[in-house]
Amino acid sequence: MRVLPGLYVGNYRDSKDAAQLDKYRITHIVAIHDTARRLHSDKHYLCVLASDTPEQNLTQYFPLCNDFIHAARLRDGNVLIHCLAGMSRSVTVAVAYIMSVTSLSWKEALKVVRAGRAVANPNLGFQRQLQDFESNRLFDERRRLKERFPSLALVANDEEQCSIMLDSYDRLLLARTICEGKCPLGVPCPTGVCRGRGRSTSTTSSSQRRRKSNQRGTSADISRSPSICSTSSVNRPRSSPAGFHSYTGSAPPSRSSSRVELHMAGCSAPCTPQPSPPVSPQHFPRRSEALQRVNSASNT
């Protein structure tokens, strides 16, 4: 769970566990998943509504998340970044932050996160976004952070801790305590990262796996945390209490809608749209009567 001093990565269940949050003295929470919302009144929140699909644009949120995380750590706060399973979205944000405040590449930063959380495994779309971020935007983001946060209080310690975590990653990899997500289908994965995912060495085609998956009524992807909270039936006010600060930003369209909510001391997330009622089937009886009349006429 712990990645760097003051930085933790976990899943939705971790974010709900008040005892665990108190144990690690979590003061700030970055929630990034489809139903991200504020759960604890005594925590500072940054809520990012984003789906775990390769098409979801997470790069647009990196500067905002970096500011939130870095400001908290500079004030001796402890930040938890979480999604649903703590494998893809939260890991991607953590990797982008580590890249931005250290000299590490995206692959090295991912190893640092995996050394602290073995199941870390962003989807391929997020990995491409991290690679693009490193190639085209990382230099500007590092410069921007240095201008906004001139303090060097975390620099030396973060570099040292990353070096320690990279050494730990190499030892864990040799001991097969962790893997790099390349276990072929049928070979036990030490972390469960590769469970249900076929590789090039597998003799089972992807279409065959999908057919078998549909027959079982389950997904062929990695199973997610069972602790998923549905908020479709909950109406929450859009306005914030007096004296609190909230930020709601719009994002470019993606396959799934995305939105950001910044809760500095206790504002609520916007209402979740209610599903439209089904179309009334009143026209079906009239069609049935018409068919009966046509059949009677033909019989006569």
The answer to whether residue 193 scores a pLDDT higher than 90 is no
Q: In Å, how far are 114, 192, 193, 226 from 13, measured between CA atoms?
A: 19, 18, 18, 8
Weakest mean pLDDT among 39-53, 68-82, 266-280: 266-280
Phi, psi torsion values for 218, nearest 5 degrees: -125, 170
Per-residue confidence (pLDDT) for residue 1, from 0 to 100: 81
CB of 58 closer than 8 Å to CB of 133: no
Say which residue, 20 or 214, is predicted with more confidence.
Answer: 20
The answer to whether residue 73 scores a pLDDT higher than 60 is yes
**pLDDT category of residue 210 using cuts at 50, 70 and 90:** very low
CATH of span 2-178+230-274: 3.90.190.10
Q: Helices H, strands E: what count in the chain? A: 10, 7
Burial of 123 (0-12, 13-18, 19+ CB in 10 A): buried
Q: Using CA atoms, how far apart are residues 29 and 131, in angstroms rounded to an integer?
A: 25
**pLDDT category of residue 200 using cuts at 50, 70 and 90:** very low
* Residue in this structure with the two tokens 């490193």, named with its chain if needed: 134
Say which residue, 296 or 158, is predicted with more confidence.
Answer: 158
pLDDT > 70: percent of the chain? 64
How would you classify residue 250: left for phi > 0, otherwise alpha for psi between -120 and 50, otherwise beta? beta
Say which residue, 82 or 201, is predicted with more confidence.
Answer: 82
The answer to whether residue 171 scores a pLDDT higher than 70 is yes
How many Cβ atoms are within 10 Å of 202's Cβ, its own excluded? 15
**pLDDT category of residue 198 using cuts at 50, 70 and 90:** very low
How many Cβ atoms are within 10 Å of 244's Cβ, its own excluded? 13
List pLDDT tens digits, range 107-130. 999 999 999 998 899 999 999 999
Burial of 223 (0-12, 13-18, 19+ CB in 10 A): exposed
- What's the mean per-residue pLDDT of the chain? 75
The answer to whether residue 131 scores a pLDDT higher than 60 is yes
Instruction: Please give the DSSP secondary-structure letter assigned to residue 219.
Output: -
pTM: 0.67
Over residues 55-60, mean pLDDT: 96
Per-residue confidence (pLDDT) for residue 240, from 0 to 100: 31
**pLDDT category of residue 82 using cuts at 50, 70 and 90:** very high
Catalytic: which of 47, 65, 83, 183?
Answer: 83
Q: In Å, how far are 70, 244, 276, 284, 289 from 298, measured between CA atoms?
A: 80, 74, 41, 21, 14
- Look up residue 173 and give its two tokens: 């990899």
Q: Using CA atoms, how far apart are residues 161 and 153, in angstroms rounded to an integer?
A: 14
Instruction: Please give the DSSP secondary-structure letter assigned to residue 77.
Output: -
Q: How many Cα atoms are found within 13 Å in the side-chain-facing hemisphere of 80?
A: 29
CB of 248 closer than 8 Å to CB of 270: yes
| Domain boundaries along the sequence of the chain | 2-178+230-274
Strand order in the sheet with 246-249: 2-4, 7-10, 79-82, 28-33, 44-49, 259-263, 246-249
Per-residue confidence (pLDDT) for residue 289, from 0 to 100: 57
**End-to-end Cα separation, the chain, in angstroms:** 79
**pLDDT category of residue 58 using cuts at 50, 70 and 90:** very high
Instruction: Note if 83 is an active site residue.
Output: yes
Per-residue confidence (pLDDT) for residue 208, from 0 to 100: 45
